Every structure is written in structure tokens, then in C-alpha cells.
Amino acid sequence: MSPPNTTIAPDQHDTEIAHLFGSDGPLSQAIPGYRPRSPQIEMAKTIASAIAGHGTLLAEAGTGTGKTYAYLIPALLWGGKTIVSTGTKNLQDQLFLRDIPTIRKVLKAPVSVALLKGRANYLCHYHLERTLQNGRLTSREDVGYLRDISRFIKTTASGDKAELSRVPEGASVWSLVTSTKENCVGSECQYYQDCFVMKARKEAQQADVVVVNHHLFFADVALKDTGIAELLPSANTVIFDEAHQLPETATLFFGETVSTSQVLELCRDVLAEGLSHARDGAEWAKLVAPVERAARDLRLAFPQDIVRLSLDQIAPSSPFFEALEALKRGLDDMIAVLEKQAERAETLEQCRARAILLLDQIEKWNAALDLKANDGEYVLWVEAFSVSLQLHRTPLSIAPIFNKQREGTPRAWIFTSATMAVKNDFTHYVSQMGLWNEPAHTWPSPFNYQEQGYLYVPDRMPDPNSRDYTDAVIDAALPVITAAGGRTFLLCTTLKAVRHCAERLKSEFEQRGLDFPLFVQGTAGRTELLDRFRAAGNGVLIGSQSFWEGVDVRGEALSLVIIDKLPFSPPDDPVLAARISAMEKKGLNGFVHHQLPEAIINLKQGAGRLIRDETDRGVLMICDPRLISKPYGKRIWQSLPGFARTRVEADVVAFFGQLKQNNAASAE
């Protein structure tokens, strides 16, 4: 076998890959249950060729192809310095802890590997010490968590909060014991030598393979604060797994967002640091009060619970604009005081820098209110949550910005996912990312969908916009859930539908005496819900967007996936509306060229939850009648896996009856 990172001829790549993935090769000998799959072998050869030629490749591989090994093996052997970026921190951990060690062992490849996460994932010695001293925790729960964290920091080598599962990822105490770019003391810190963020970055600098996630990758490109800025120049190969998520992630980071939460956090820190280091320097409480009031007034300008409005949807008479001016004035006054006091403590200097940055972001957004200052490449909008408000400036297209990032040193760029194309057509993805004229390939799933499952679209469903639609979904779903013996994912397009379905099913199960445990998004963390669902064996899990992808439940625990509606983005989304408007100015149809392909890619993700293995059997139930009644419906179902299709409930009930008989027979 060739040693890692050597340059060899493409036909030698092919020969070596055929051997590695072959029936007598090292993968077959080392991994129980491994079987050669020709799509996986062809995909690995194509990726090896792209790596050798510093090329770009779009690689879609159906579920079960084994795309992770298909890109890891060429990367570990010939990729040189490689950055692997994946969709979530969970997938990142899976690659680092399971997949890469397995392949490295099989190949006997002496490559070093590092895991790099955003700084909010690493404990900060300085902020932990400050929090222990300040004693500003209000709940008994947080006090207990803080005790766990202070014990953990003495034993951990990485400082990665994922290692401390006793403290929930969403616990508010984490924000007090981790750093942000704004409040990190940097090389002035007394703990700089022990800093977990710096250690992780140093390891990443020296490693052959670095595993990151998309948020981290693009946060760095935009903010220069993740350590990738130093990594990218030396990288020979960049691989994006779950690449279908990139347009959304890149849009998030190539735009600019400033929130009232950041303002309130700044006020909290200015008050604490002012009283600690310059009590006589100002009336700190009076200084922060008008800023806090203006930030809250900004949120209160919109009485609704959750709001997403483009700038031109906000009435000129709205109190929003007055609150925005008051916030700018308050920050100005705060900066003037901090200018005079900053030299008294490093932390006050940090507060000054943060205040200037926040004011700068708000003024930049405010300047763009003048439409002449907004060049038409960005959309300005606000988003209000229960207690905070965000000002967004979002690019209409990320393609030119992303292409700029790819200029410079020649390197291989590999984009892979199970869902990038619509009926083998990559046009939508290519136009979003600006990857024109780059090679794109699709490798089909090795699963026999025709025999492994049904696509069931129930008959006589009402219009999806009707008030009683969600009840109709439950009415249609109940006989099928019963026939499946639970073992169901019910995927909804809105959180409102999740709540309504949960209430209805809880009541129906009780009335009918059905003993199916119910797991509902929001009642526990995603990982915990999935673990409990798998363990139950006959559960029903109800979730929205976060359960449509990146979820792998193999075997009998999941035999039925129900999707309530086709996942079209809400038409009132300000960024979507602006993009459609821009497309229509170019003579394109916003629905056909953007909303429809986007919905198909989303639906393919949801459908992909069902069949995860060659032995899996099940039913994909899509309740939305538009799949049949609308002209575009055919384009949608032709993009889905090739299940047998039916509109008859009895067919599905019979399928599950046969499945039970087969399982009973094989158990004897």
C-alpha cells in the first residue's frame, strides 16, 4: 500500500481503491458485515481523482452507499492536509471518535487527526474563576452545574463541554464559563498557556486531518475567529459532508446579525466590571439603564411572539425606529465613559471594544435604511423572539462571496451529500453555491426500495391550508401507526403542528388503549429523545426540522415515517421573498427555480430517515394531497426513492401484517 500523501498515477489510485474496498481487501477483513458496493468504489475512485488533480467535485450518494468511507480513504491516503467539515457537532464527534479511527486502523495510516470546535464549546479557566468568585447564579440547578463544571475542568484534557453530559448543552451556566471573541482576554490572560481553545487550535495546526463543522468553517471565513483562517492556506483538500446544508449556513455567516441579547450582555458586564474596577469612575447603574431600556423597547416594538419582517414591512410610524435611535445614543454615552475608564482594567477595555463593535454594526444596518446605501445585494430584516430581537443584513446570493474564498492556492474541494440534486439535476445547488461547470456525479442507493417499502399518499385529504388539516393528518395516520405497532416518526413542517399532533395522539392513545410511548420535540434534548425512542422499540416520535436529517435509526424501532406537508418555506420569509423577487426580475420563476427544488431536497432528507439498512422495511406516508393533485407533484415523487406506491390504506395495513409474520417466523 502506498504511504499517505504520496502522489501516484490515477490508474494506480483506481487499482488501490479496488483492492481496499474489494471482497478480499482490508475493509472486508477488518469490519464485520462489510460487503463491497460498486457505487461506493466508483465514488471513492472519482474523489481520489479530484484530490489528485486539485479539482472540485459534487458527489451525491444515495443512503447506504457508504459515502463516509468513500471520501475518508482517498483523503487519508492522498489528501495531504485535509479539512473535513460536516453538518453538526454530533456528526463531527462521530467522524472523529468512530469513523476516522476505524479507517486509520484498517489502512495502518500514520496520519494525525484533530477535532476543532467553536470557542463556545470549550471551558474557559478565566471566566469559570470569575463566575465562581462573583456568585451571580440565581437557580439552585445552575449552582449544581457549576460545581460539576469546576470538578470537570481539573480532569479534562480537551475542555470540550460535550464530555460533561451531566450538564445539558442548553444550560444557561455555559455562557458564563466559556468565552466569546469579544470577551476573550487573549495572550494577556493568566491562563493562556492552559487555554483549551488555544490547545485545540495548535493541535489542528499540526494535524494531517482536521474535523470541523460547517458553522465553524463559515464563522471563520466571516469572523476570522475559529482558527481555520490559519488552517485553510495550508490545506490541500477540503471535504464538505452534508453539503446540502452549506447554502443556509453560509448565508447565515456571510450576512451580519446584531441582537438585543448582545446589548444586554454588554450592559451586564459593563455594570459588573465598572463596579469591580472603577466604582468611583461613573454612576454605572445609571449609565447602563437607558441602553437596557432601549434594547427592550426595540423588542417591544413588535407585540407578537415571533416576528420576521423585512424593512419595508415595518411601518414608518413604528416605535422601532425611535428605540433604535435611543439605543445608538445610549451606546454613544456608554463608550464615552468607557474611553476614560478603560485603562483601569483589561476587562473594561474589552467592554469598550465590544460597545464600539455593537454600535458600528447597528449604525451599518441603520445606514442601509437609506435604500441608496443598500446596493441590492443584501436584504435588511428583523427577527423577534420571545425576549430578544435581531437585526439582519443577509446576502441575496452567497455564490460570489464563496467563490472568492475558493480563489488562491489550488486545492481539492469535495461537496458530498445524499441530497443535492433534483432528479439527478444539480442546477439549483450549483446556482446557490456558484459551482458552475464543475463535475457532478450521482451514485444511486444500493437498497431495493421497491421491495423494502411503500410510498403511501392517503386519499381524500383536505387542502393543506385548511384549519382542520392537522386533525385530518392524525385521522389518516392512526390506523397506520396502529398497524405498524408504533415505531413511527411523525415529521411536521411547523412547531405548532408538532404541539397539536402531540395533544391529539396522547388523547387518542389513551382512549384506544394503545401503549405506544410518545416522544415530543422540546420535552428533552434531541439525542436523549432518540435514545429513548430506540430503547422503547414501539415509540412514536413527533418532531420538526431538526429530526428531518442527521438522524439514523436502524432496524425495527422505526418502520413508519409520516410527513404532514410538503416542506415549502413560508412565503413570508423576508430573505426568500427578496430572492424570489430578484429571480423574477431576471425572468425566472421563483417557485419553479427556487421553492420547489428547495422543498424536494428537504423532503428527500425526511424520506431518508426510513430505510437505513438493507434489511430495513417500512412505509413513507406523505399526507399532502398536492403530491398527486398539482402538476409539480410528479417531479417531487420522481425525486424520492423508488418505493412501491399506493393510495390504499388496506395495502399498507397488509404490508405491516406481512412484516409482523416474517419477523415472528425469523424469531422462531
**CA-wise closest residue to 348 among 273, 263, 406:** 273
Task: Tell me, rounded to whole angstroms, the distance of Cα 556 from its chain centroid.
Answer: 27
CA distances from 586 to 250, 366, 375, 379, 582 (A): 23, 28, 17, 17, 7
pLDDT digits (tens, 9 = 90+) for 448-485: 999 999 999 999 999 999 999 999 999 999 999 999 99
Tell me phi and psi for residue 436, to 5 degrees. Answer: -65, 145
Provide DSSP, 388-437.
-EEEEEEES-SHHHHHHHH-SS--EEEEEES-S-BTTB-HHHHHHHT-TT
**CA-wise closest residue to 569 among 605, 521, 603:** 603
Q: What is the pLDDT of residue 3?
A: 38
pLDDT digits (tens, 9 = 90+) for 93-131: 889 999 999 999 999 999 999 999 988 899 999 999 988
Tell me the pLDDT of the chain averaged across its residues. 90
374 pLDDT higher than 70? no
**CA-wise closest residue to 610 among 662, 551, 667:** 551
* pLDDT, average across residues 307-325: 90
Task: Tell me, rounded to whole angstroms, the distance of Cα 538 from its chain centroid.
Answer: 28
**CA-wise closest residue to 139 among 176, 172, 174:** 172
Query: What domains are defined for the chain?
Result: 10-118+199-252+398-443 (3.40.50.300), 254-395 (1.20.120), 449-667 (3.40.50.300)
Q: What is the pLDDT of residue 4?
A: 41
- In whole angstroms, give the CA distance from residue 62 to residue 417: 8
Cell of 317: 410610524
585 pLDDT higher than 80? yes
- In whole angstroms, give the CA distance from residue 289 to residue 295: 10
140 and 194 Cβ atoms separated by less than 8 Å? no
284 pLDDT higher than 50? yes
Instruction: Report which of residues 508 and 32 the model is more confident about.
Output: 508
49 and 18 Cβ atoms separated by less than 8 Å? no
The amino acid that residue 281 corresponds to is: G
59 and 414 Cβ atoms separated by less than 8 Å? yes
Q: Which residues pair with 620 in a beta bridge?
A: 455, 561
619 and 454 Cβ atoms separated by less than 8 Å? yes
Please, is 439 exposed, middle or buried when counting C-beta atoms within 10 Å of its C-beta (0-12, 13-18, 19+)? middle
**CA-wise closest residue to 74 among 49, 111, 99, 37:** 49
pLDDT digits (tens, 9 = 90+) for 23-60: 999 999 998 888 999 999 999 999 999 999 999 999 99
Q: What is the pLDDT of residue 222?
A: 63
Residue 228 — pLDDT band, cuts 50, 70, 90? low
611 and 558 Cβ atoms separated by less than 8 Å? no
Cβ of 18: how many Cβ atoms within 10 Å? 14
pLDDT digits (tens, 9 = 90+) for 238-273: 999 999 999 999 998 888 889 999 999 999 999 999
Cell of 490: 411523525
19 pLDDT higher than 90? yes
Cell of 507: 388523547
83 and 414 Cβ atoms separated by less than 8 Å? no
Q: What is the pLDDT of residue 209?
A: 96
Tell me phi and psi for residue 376, to 5 degrees. Answer: 85, -5
pLDDT digits (tens, 9 = 90+) for 631-654: 999 999 999 999 999 999 999 999
Tell me phi and psi for residue 586, to 5 degrees. Answer: -90, 5
CA distances from 50 to 250, 492, 565 (A): 23, 39, 39
229 pLDDT higher than 70? no
Give the burial string for 595-613 (b: 16+ CB within 10 Å, else e).
Answer: bbbbbbbbbbbbbbbbbbe
